[in-house]
Structure 1
Amino acid sequence: MSSSKELIGFLSQAHPDLDVLTDATDRAGYETGARYGVGTAAAVVRPAAREQVQAVVAAAQRFGVRLVVQGANTGLVGASTPDAGGEQIVLSTARLKGAIAVDPLNQSVTVGAGVLLSELNTRLAQDGLFFPVDLGADPTIGGMIAANTGGARLLKYGDVRQNLLGVEAVLAEPAGELLDLNRALRKNNVGFDFKQLFVGTGGAFGVVTAATLRVYPLPAQTATALLVPTGVAELEALLLALNAELGDFLSSCEGISREAAQAVVRHLDDVEDPFAEMEGADYAMLVELSSTMPSRAGGLDLEALLMDFLERHYGTLIGNAVVGKPEALWRLRHSITESIRNEGKIIALDLSVPRSRFPAFRAEARALIAARYPWLRIYDFGHLGDGGVHLNMVWPLQDAPAYDEAVASEVRAELYRLTVERFDGSFSAEHGIGPYNERFYRDFTADAVLGHVGAMQSRLDPRRTLSRLWLGKGE
């Protein structure tokens, strides 16, 4: 009998209340990732309480079985799905919910790891609050911590790391030990900040079961515009002007290329093309201002402020602007990936560079692709305000060589080298590492860092129970 079968038998007998799925049909939804990662699990276990998580982790250590911790399975690097061996167990946190405990005065919330972002914000809205890490997907809170998600409003509110006050996690060593760091404190300077080990590390150091997050008042007013700079040099100047003149209210600044916008126009009805009247321009900025102050109070009117900014810079820094249609503008931004899927096979890159180097990076990346892979179409967009770049390319179905995975990998590797080595950037700005990016993690991480991270992982998970990835040196 395999170790995984022994583990399943033990859990079924010792913990009859634990939800264990072994039928292939029941497992199927847990075995395929949102973009990458397809495997076969021996079973899926769905604990509903931290004590059950402790029991599963302790048993996995005892029987030598590797767990794959999974939230909503919305990750894009294959980290939340099992491999093809059929021996790993998926530990789903979907049932780790319980009460969502809101503290309006402290502006914090304590929440189970399996609560979805949408569920959290629905509850917070009852108290006029929200958790502002805004994403296209609907992940669990535990998954957001493991991936350190950012999103479209990181510019104003920061990522998960900057909004995590406390965490509760189950360790692999000592087997099943509960580490309770779940405090609702903004100031706590008593040494090593242990909770950071669980942020952005893909579950390698422990299973997050609950967390306490900083939350914010819902904006009372917003103002949104899509701006097309008059040129590349003006893009930098426009960013400087936005920060200098509207920085107190600037909550989002997204970048959208001409190609990305026009792909959406081709595939969705009732979407306005911001480049229609600007033949030479090829990049736009989706700008959002927000404030908790109502427009009637103190004379603050964000739409008036934004219109004044546009009027003063129109013709010099701004060549075209679409205003007053926030839902339509955000629909344009959020529909890019869906639209370009219709154009061919996507090669998606999640990059970041310093904001000051973005124009030069974009020019070099596009030149590299045009020179070496001229059949690829570029549809770049991203979080311009924080340096995030979704450099997505499409391998067309027609008028191009037959799709070749080896060539696609070569394109990815060349652009990663350009990002990291030439522009001091990151090859994974938001999506994490996961099996999909493991080799690049090793290529671009210093040996000293690998050594220290490996030592920590060996101490906290010596049998590698909690992660498909070894973060240290070697394999």
Structure 2
Amino acid sequence: MTREDKALSPFNEHIAALRSILSDEGVQVGADAAAYEEGARFDRGVAAFVLRPTSTAEVSAAVSYCVRNEIPIVPQAGNTGVVSGSTPDASGTQAVLSLDRLSRNLRLDIDNRSVRADAGILLSDLNAALEPDGLFFPIDLGANPRLGGMLSTNAGGARFLRYGDVRRNVLGITVVLADPEGSIVTLGSSLRKNNTGVDWKQLFIGTSGAFGIITECVLNAERIPRQNAAALLVPSTPSAILPLLREIEGRVGEYLSTFEAMSGNAIRLTLQSIPRLKNPFVGGQVPNYVLLVELTRTWEPRDGEQSLDKVLETALAEIWDTQPDLLADALFGPSQQLWMLRHSIPEGLKQSGRLVSCDLAFQRGDVMKFCDTVTTELPIRFPGVIMCDFGHVGDGGVHLSLVAPHGSEAALNPDLEGNLRSWIYEKAVNDFGGSYSGEHGIGRKNQAYYDKFTPERLKSWARAMKAVTSPSELGVPRLG
């Protein structure tokens, strides 16, 4: 369906009706809808129209209308995902329901250390509102998503090791179901303990909007770290990374908030693509692997207390003395500066060529074994493709980014992405018992793999849940 076809579209009657429910600004079409039709990884579709409600009641009314008129809905939060889970397909028959105007309400309960917020609020805006009271929402992401998207995909982030994922930090949600009534359901509350039956809110967290649209949430807030220390560590070999993690955990305990790995290829391409970044390595020689380690405390420094810089230095010195074969080098520096390198990698790789990003998870001890296997086999199976792995080794996660340089034969191969994903996912799931989607959910890019790897019994359960909660077409993944 082209934009020109829309002028004669049967949706015009629905657009007029929905504008009477949401206002003219609440329904976008044509050029005004374009920003909602393209995702963060350039996936693009065509929306019949875009709905922009401002309240749970408006979401309910819009969903009810679409369900009664058999119009499929694609919920969209910040549209920062990478698996085509928040954009419409090319049919021009799906309505995008954006949460971008559902961002008016935010109420902090400082005694309960919780915050009630609309699902359309940006992560950065939430943290800006919490900062004056010394609090933050402890999910650290390179992107700036909206809360509804974070909950629907169960985002993890770079400080998972310390704070866990979104699921661990949600107390309650309000959901609109895709049924003829647009039913509004409140699940959970501000209570931190309530063991009175099934925790129904978890059904909607991490399921990509298939069972309902989250419109409001009650979140746990944590104290902002007031002290930190960070370093870039160079392991002697990739096989030393997990032993290093165990040694550091044993020496610094709960102070450890981050243990991130970055391959040399990922760093080199990022430095080439983003000239403003400073190369921190001696002589500009990037090691094969680099670890970003960070320690944090939530209180102000006390007189006589050993600083975190000293805690980290002492721990590393002990490792050098007792396990000299694990650590080749350590570079200390301001935490913000070291994080800049890590957070720049996704953008740097995107600029480096045709990018195929796989979000994988393993048992911690299998991460580097998997990466070693792919490093060996990739040049044989896919010549010219560069492996650029990075991510959350401390929790078993790895972003396996595969780059075909601009203009290369591999980059021009229309089947490259499908062939790469199939090979990587088969190896991750079948050979290593891993997950093909550690953080980013299903979406159109991963639908075929959900269908392939999910046991039939679990799919039948999902179909049953879908029939109970949101029987009409909602969201991109088909969990049944």
Q: TM-score, normalised by structure 1?
A: 0.94
Report percent identity of matched pairs. Answer: 39
Q: List aligned pairs for 1:15-414, cutoff 5 A.
A: 15=21, 17=23, 19-173=25-179, 175-267=181-273, 268-274=275-281, 282-296=288-302, 299-314=305-320, 315-397=324-406, 400-401=409-410, 403-414=412-423
Task: Give the root-mean-square deviation of aligned CA atoms.
Answer: 1.9
Return the letter of the residue paired with 1:130.
Answer: F
Return the letter of the residue paired with 2:160.
Answer: L
Return the letter of the residue paired with 2:476.
Answer: R
Q: Distance in 2 between matches of 1:286 and 1:128?
A: 25
1:468 aligns with 2:476: yes
Q: List aligned pairs for 1:428-439, cutoff 5 A.
A: 428-439=437-448
Q: Which runs of 5+ in 2 are unaligned?
A: 1-7
Given that residues 128 and 218 in structure 1 are in contact (C-alpha distance below 8 angstroms), is that contact kept between their aligned partners in structure 2? yes
The secondary structure found in structure 1 opposite 2:422 is helix
Pair 1:349–1:275, CA change in 2 (3 A) = farther
Write the deviation string for residues 369-426 of structure 1: whole angstroms up to 9, x where unpaired: 0221231111111111111111111112356456212133112111111111111111
Q: TM-score, normalised by structure 2?
A: 0.93
* Displacement of 1:218: 0.6
* Displacement of 1:275: 7.2
* Displacement of 1:278: 7.4
* Displacement of 1:180: 1.3
Q: Distance in 2 between matches of 1:266 and 1:192?
A: 51
* Displacement of 1:301: 1.3
Return the letter of the residue paired with 1:423.
Answer: F
Q: Distance in 2 between matches of 1:373 and 1:37?
A: 23
More off after superposition, 298-307 vs 242-251: 298-307
Pair 1:87–1:174, CA change in 2 (3 A) = closer
Q: Distance in 1 between matches of 2:460 and 2:197?
A: 23
Name the residue aligned to 2:3.
none
Pair 1:354–1:3, CA change in 2 (3 A) = farther
More off after superposition, 229-238 vs 354-363: 229-238
* Displacement of 1:273: 4.4
Given that residues 22 and 52 in structure 2 are in contact (C-alpha distance below 8 angstroms), is that contact kept between their aligned partners in structure 1? no
Q: Distance in 2 between matches of 1:221 and 1:396?
A: 41
Q: Distance in 2 between matches of 1:26 and 1:74?
A: 19
The secondary structure found in structure 2 opposite 1:247 is helix
The secondary structure found in structure 1 opposite 2:80 is coil
Return the letter of the residue paired with 1:227.
Answer: L
Pair 1:290–1:333, CA change in 2 (3 A) = same
The secondary structure found in structure 1 opposite 2:100 is coil
Q: Distance in 1 between matches of 2:430 and 2:284?
A: 38
Name the residue aligned to 2:453.
444
* Displacement of 1:468: 3.0
More off after superposition, 357-366 vs 113-122: 357-366
Q: Which runs of 5+ in 1 are unaligned?
A: none
* Displacement of 1:96: 1.2
Q: Distance in 2 between matches of 1:100 and 1:39?
A: 32
Given that residues 367 and 397 in structure 2 are in contact (C-alpha distance below 8 angstroms), is that contact kept between their aligned partners in structure 1? no
Pair 1:322–1:403, CA change in 2 (3 A) = same
Name the residue aligned to 1:8.
15
Write the deviation string for residues 279-320 of structure 1: whole angstroms up to 9, x where unpaired: 8x5211100100112222561411110011222223432111
Q: Distance in 2 between matches of 1:18 and 1:58?
A: 18
Write the deviation string for residues 104-125 of structure 1: whole angstroms up to 9, x where unpaired: 1211000001110000000000
Write the deviation string for residues 155-186 of structure 1: whole angstroms up to 9, x where unpaired: 10011101000001111236211101251111
Write the deviation string for residues 38-80 of structure 1: whole angstroms up to 9, x where unpaired: 1111211111111111111111111111111111111111111
Pair 1:275–1:192, CA change in 2 (3 A) = farther
Given that residues 124 and 144 in structure 2 are in contact (C-alpha distance below 8 angstroms), is that contact kept between their aligned partners in structure 1? yes
Pair 1:68–1:99, CA change in 2 (3 A) = same
* Displacement of 1:201: 0.9
Instruction: Provide the aligned length of Structure 1 versus Structure 2.
Output: 469
Given that residues 174 and 184 in structure 2 are in contact (C-alpha distance below 8 angstroms), is that contact kept between their aligned partners in structure 1? yes
